[in-house]
Amino acid sequence: MKKSILLLVTIILITGCSKPEIKTTIENNDALVSINYPVTNINALDDAVSTYVNQTYNNFKKSYKHLTKPELNITYTYKELNDDVINISLNTEINADKNINKIKTFTYDKKTKKFLSMEDIVDDLDALDYDIKKALLEKYQEADMDFLSNVNYDYFTIDDENLTIYLGPAELKSQGNEIIYLDIPLNSLKMLIDIDKSNGSDNYINIKKRDINYDDHIVALTFDDGPSKYTDKILNILKKYDACATFFVIGNKVDFYDETLTKMLKNGNEIGNHSYSHKWLNRLSKEEFEEEITKTQTEVQKATGFTPKLFRPTYGGYTNKLKSYTDLTFVLWDVDSSDWKVKNKDKIINNIIPNVKDGSIILMHDNHEYAVNALEDVIKKLQEKGYKFVTVSELLELKKIRENE
């Protein structure tokens, strides 16, 4: 007689609003590459951003091709300052024979169809200069203040409370490589444009129950590097076949796809943490690693109310020391679709089906269409073999129950 195990997941859901899509490129060949940036469907802005990203990528590949596993990481901040003005800031980090850390900012007015400088945003630049100098003296007392006679405020982001100014280490003759940033409160500045404030959303509770038998043949689908514009299609396919998956999300993409994450949970799927910006974790300090974890946890909680319990390390690489820095459960895989590499539906299916066994965790990616093309056949073939789809947490819980029998 089968034992029936009822696994309960309590989920707090929050509705969100639609956002532009995120363009993602992740490579793990001769170099480690993780690039994420927003696509707004505003031609001038998108052309400027993509041109900068492509130039950075091509220069990186050319300059560091002689090195073993150099790393390029481009992440972003995005803010709709009001109905017309968008601010995008790209943070580029290169880890190679020397480390490079730089910021590039684009501020675009849809109404005037022009890129804006600080002169278009803040009325009194002398007052801004004073605030910058004051903040520098308070935060970076060792900095060379000779620089301050010619302040550069070309690189900045704006949120609901602060104008954040970014300065390169060379600009202050700093010995470190970190980007220097200063938060200037908006209420201390005379702004030439209105800054819209974020609106909160009501939440509600939904409880998902799944009935799993002790001796079921189970398998867990997992998707890395999303969410993306393809994730919603994947969710529809999963729902069509009464299947589920665990999505290991990149934190800096969550805000753009909050409705997609809500849909994940509503449909009985699970969300895991895949770092905030997809950096190579083994190069990070304890503090940097914890920031990658915490920022993603915060973004997922803000978007959905759900707190991830699982973590998948980027590029599948980690050490026991890294594991000791967090209480999250590290999750790898035993079946690799290699969808991002083979880019072919039949090859993806052949990489999965013959290698699945009871309790397998399958690795796929939801940041490109290759997984979408293969997913329906993968689900049907595994269901025909008698497999039941569960989330990773459910799989680990059932494995634990079996081991303790």
Q: Which of 224, 225, 255, 339 is catalytic?
A: 224
Q: Name the token pair of 309.
A: 């319990």
Assess whether 366 carries a catalytic annotation: no
246, 391 in Cβ contact below 8 A? yes
Backbone angles phi, psi at 115, to 5 degrees: -80, 140
Q: Name the token pair of 112.
A: 């005037």
335, 294 in Cβ contact below 8 A? no
According to DSSP, the residues that pair with 13 across neighbouring strands are 204
157/179 Cα distance (integer angstroms): 13
149, 139 in Cβ contact below 8 A? no
Scan for tokens 């529809």, then name that residue: 236
**Largest Cα–Cα separation, the chain:** 81
Element (H, E) at 102: strand 100-109
287/325 Cα distance (integer angstroms): 9
Residue 253 C-beta-side C-alpha neighbours within 13 Å: 31
Assess whether 224 carries a catalytic annotation: yes
364, 221 in Cβ contact below 8 A? yes
229/277 Cα distance (integer angstroms): 18
DSSP string, 42-95: -HHHHHHHHHHHHHHHHHHHHHSTTSSS-EEEEEEEEEE-SSSEEEEEEEEEEE
120, 81 in Cβ contact below 8 A? no
User: What is the spatial order of strands in the sheet that 114-115 belongs to?
Assistant: 21-28, 32-39, 71-80, 85-95, 100-109, 114-115
Scan for tokens 């969410």, then name that residue: 227
312, 224 in Cβ contact below 8 A? yes
CB atoms within 10 A of CB 327: 9
Give the active site residues. Answer: 224, 365
